[in-house]
Amino acid sequence: MLPLDGIKVLDITEAHVGPYATVLLADLGADVIKVERPGGERVRLRGLTVDKKGIPSQFLALNRNKRSIVLDLQKEKGKTIALQLVERADVFVQNMRPGVIERLGLGYEEVSKRNPKIIYASASPWGLKGPDATKPAYDLTGQARGGVMTQTGSEENPIPCGPAIADHLTGLYLFSAIVTGLLARERTGVAQHVDVSMIGSLVALQCREITHYLINGPPILSWRKLFGAIWSPFKTKDIWICIAGIPEVRWPAFCKVMGLEHLVNDPRFATPQARYERDEELCDIFRQVFLKKSGMEWVKELEEADIVVAPVNTLADVVEDPQAIANDYIMEQDYPGHGKVKVAGVPVHFSKMPVKLRSPSPEVGEHSHEILQELGYTWEEIAQLVSEEVI
């Protein structure tokens, strides 16, 4: 048994935001029926996410533990089947731009009439209100408009975050909203429409920085500029490492490890304020010393002195990190035609309901016949739907 066993989800999402929310639901045991357009979701074939082995890595990552049905929602029979699935579902999830799902006849009003107990979940780029509600967006433009690029870079040189943080975060908030909606329905009997947006998620991500700005005016500076050299990455003989703060009580121990005992009582660096004021000078000293040993030598010695430090890992390092492996954050799963492949695991653990990767991402329409039979369709009716290219 899993935490969301028995919850049925109708997933009419594509790309990243919606599929990430619904894969979290599927990982926790929900029966997620993924509705795909004829030919399948577009990310199955997108060149940048299909590797040299022919594995659509984005689709693989975001659609495991789901069942797939192909439906042409622009045909009346396709819409009819979708509404029949609505009647059996606990959750309906869509991430189309406002207005698109309504034109398909599957907006909140229509869906909630067919199933008043359903949690209807929407994700959009810019929210359901305002002059730009219907404008499109991708992760990159979300990071831009949401202010993240000037946090990872600066106003003079905005730099996007490497991972699709805007998409991923919005999907996480969508998942949280769905689970909260289900809990509220369980406790109060009230089902409702829950919605999240990319811009709203990014505002929430930066709540500390935005609140500081609203109250004080100037934005919070980067860790490096705010706290100086003791919050900074440094190049060693072979790799980069990162130090995250040196409490005053640890300053002598840090200097000893670094072979800089003379700095402890040096009036230029004797107090936190003095070190901050001479930050660049101190940083130059650290840079020269760190180059004398390997990164893991420094990590070992600094950890023994109770200094918070970590290697700056590449993705290649992360997937081999013994901590990630020990906690099943990197797992293996079977993928048809390719055997076992390594994938990112489930980030949530339950002590009495262990979460597993039960099935790989489905083939296009792999479960269409199975799902239609569950709705009561006969083989003859299914064959007719195939001939009419509804499924």
- The dihedral sign for the CA sequence 308, 313, 318, 321: negative
Q: Position 326: which residue type?
A: A
The phi, psi pair for 233, rounded to 5°, reads -85, 150
Of the candidates 347, 361, 318, 315, the one whose C-alpha atom is nearest the C-alpha of residue 55 is 361
Number of other residues whose CB lies within 10 A of the CB of residue 86:
19
Please state, in angstroms and rounded to a whole number, the distance separating the CA atoms of residues 269 and 257. Answer: 16
Question: Which pair of tokens denotes residue 184?
Answer: 């509220």
Annotation says 167 is catalytic: yes
Residue 233 parent element (H or E): strand 231-235
Number of other residues whose CB lies within 10 A of the CB of residue 228:
19
Contact in structure between 197 and 126 (CB atoms under 8 Å): yes
Q: Tell me the CA distances in angstroms from 108 to 98, 118, 218, one per residue in order.
A: 11, 10, 41
In the set 11, 31, 90, 167, the catalytic residue is 167
Q: Supply the residues annotated as catalytic.
A: 167
